[in-house]
Structure 1
Amino acid sequence: MEINIAIIGASGFLGKSFVDYFNNKNIPVTAFSRTVQNKNWKEFDVLNYKDLSVFESFTHVFYCAAGGVQRNNIGNNELRINSLFPIELSNYLNNINTSIKFISFGSYFEIGDNSLDKEWTEKEIIYTDNIISSEYIESKKILTYYSYIAKKSYHFILPTIYGEKENSKRLIPYIINSLKKNEKITISSGEQIRQYVYVEDVLKIIWENIVLLNCGVYNISGEVVNINQIVKYIFSLFDSDIEISIENNFRDLSMMNLKLKQSNLIKEMNLSKSSLLDNLKKYL
């Protein structure tokens, strides 16, 4: 069967990156989003969409939609977007055609409040009793748990993904744009330990190796950095004495250390990832 791909949530950073990736490979792809950009995009609203049969014609369905990302408290709409609808769609596709690959995504923020210096496995993330202070993350964790138990789909837990086309309000473009405009920069204390992975590496890892994987949950790890290190990386690219304001009211300060243990199956594929410092230059 000829490859035919659907991307749900195509207007977001990850979804749009997948659309561009497949277009560049001349692989047929249909983008589903609330906003339509061209003839290969279909208007799609998770909250008001009833006819799941439209996805029966695809070989791969990537679910990249998310709701309430920037809010601590979410409602029933976001719960449906982040967990209930993808679970429903995964079950539907599996029941009508088990050969259709359904791919969804989780986040290492599902680890919750943590200061331990350790790499977390998929199972540890799913069963940890760490406090999760965001309803958005709780709703994402429902999907991760279901994917782990049901084993009907492919679910990838990601660290922080970055790339030149990410939202301008995120850390890297925010700092770069502030430096370009000579504006004051406000960040957290910068002590948080994080993993960063370039979005192009994520796309390549998933697409080139999904055929080798069984349904289940898989971690994709990234380069370990702290926020201060990222700031220093960026400042090294500019000759600037911009003022930096430190604030301690950022909501992720209780999650001081977030690191994924690379999935053994993915690790065995010997996949190389590009470096953060090299990729930062692509933003300029």
Structure 2
Amino acid sequence: MKTILTGATGFLGSEILKVLLRENHNIIILKRTFSNTQKIKNELSAVRQYDIDKTSLASIFEENKNIDAIIHTATCYGRKNETASQIFYSNTAFPLELLELSVKNKVKTFINTGTILPLAKKGQMHNYVLSKQQFAKWGEYYSQDIQFTNAILDYIYGPFDDKTKFLPTLIEACVENKESINLSGGEQLRDFIYIEDVVTAYMKILHLQNAPLEVEIGHGLQTSLKNAALKIKELTKSKTNLNFGAIEYKDGEPMSLKTNPAFLNSAGWKPKYNFTDGIKKLISEEYKK
């Protein structure tokens, strides 16, 4: 299949790219001139790439006829103090232009990366969630013209993720045996899913003839952040002191999230790694020393 992939330099997109290439897809990646391509340095020679800050999306479709699918994983969380308008452009306006051109050029499939997070009245994730929900509505509107699927995810984890996230920060502290790390009470419940399982779910959606408008990817199980932290400490045999309750919960932070993977399960997909096995694999690959 001839596939356009956004976010190929990121955590999820880079892993999807590697699998697409192994399956011999014809891949076009959209990035920016300043994108860090370290994660895909070995794959760059095998793909066609465009810098979207220099090239219009319309011209990309003109140069590449008969595109079969779009996989959109690029996102802006607002973690670098981006403005509301910047987040809106990245998560709503840009993919909407991509979707409009996909419909115009008769692309068959558009897979969007959504979020399970609810819209909070306040908090740093408000603009991110709102922009994601707005684009999902546009996807629903255009679904009469293209097979649009919103892939709903909770907490993806795996080797070489952003070090500012909860699990990577915690694992690094434990591996290095830091004296202590301050944490919240850890009562938040999350549906953790290993990156390799997420990628196989995307591949399953990509090859379905009639994928639904919304597909949730996960175990359908919940693990508290406290139990996740304790399991990581156990697996790393760390002496790091976990100071639960040392910091307050974030404004608008949801306390309970869980996916419903019933559709994917019925389509033959099941996750390979439970939380313990996923963390073991992460540690073995990222911290071989």
Compute the TM-score of the two structures, normalised by the length of structure 1. 0.82
Which residue number in structure 1 is paired with residue 195 of structure 2?
199
Would you say 1:108 and 2:116 are equivalent positions?
yes
Shift of 1:215: 5.4
| Paired amino acid for 2:73 | C
Where does residue 97 of structure 1 map in the other structure?
106
Residue 231 of structure 1 corresponds to 229
Evaluate the alpha carbon distance shift between residue 209 and residue 232 of structure 1 in structure 2; reply closer, same or farther with a 3 A threshold.
same
2:279 is matched with which residue?
280
Q: Secondary structure at the match of 1:189?
A: coil
What's the CA shift for 1:132?
5.7
Distance 1:252 1:31 in 2: 36
Q: Does the alignment pair 1:216 with 2:223?
A: no
Give 1:112's aligned amino acid.
Answer: L
Which residue of structure 2 lines up, in the alignment, with residue 140 of structure 1? 132
Counterpart CA distance in 2 for 1:243 and 1:42 is: 46
What is the root-mean-square deviation of aligned Cα atoms in Å?
Answer: 2.4
1:166-181 residue pairs with structure 2 within 5 A?
166-181=161-176
Residue ranges of structure 1 left out of the alignment (5+ in a row): 114-130
Comparing 65-74 with 170-179, greater Cα deviation is found at 65-74
Identical positions, percent? 20
- The letter for the 1-side match of 2:2 is N
Residues 185/249 of structure 1: CA separation in 2 closer, same or farther (3 Å cut)? same
Contact 2:217 2:259 in 1 (8 A): yes
- CA offsets 1:81-110 (integer angstroms, 9 cap, x no match): 1011111211221122143x221111111x
User: Does the alignment pair 1:186 with 2:191?
Assistant: no
Q: How does 1:80-95 map to 2 (within 5 A)?
A: 80-95=89-104
Q: Distance in 2 between matches of 1:195 and 1:238?
A: 21
User: In the superposition, relative to structure 1, how do residues 21 and 98 fare at CA in structure 2: closer, same or farther (>3 Å)?
Assistant: closer
Post-superposition offset of 1:281 = 0.7
The number of equivalent residue pairs is: 261
TM-score, normalisation: structure 2: 0.81
The 3 A distance-change label for structure 1 pair 85 and 49 is: farther
Cα pair distance change 1:231/1:239, threshold 3 Å: same
CA contact (8 A) 2:190 2:257 kept: yes
Gaps of 5+ in 2: 284-289
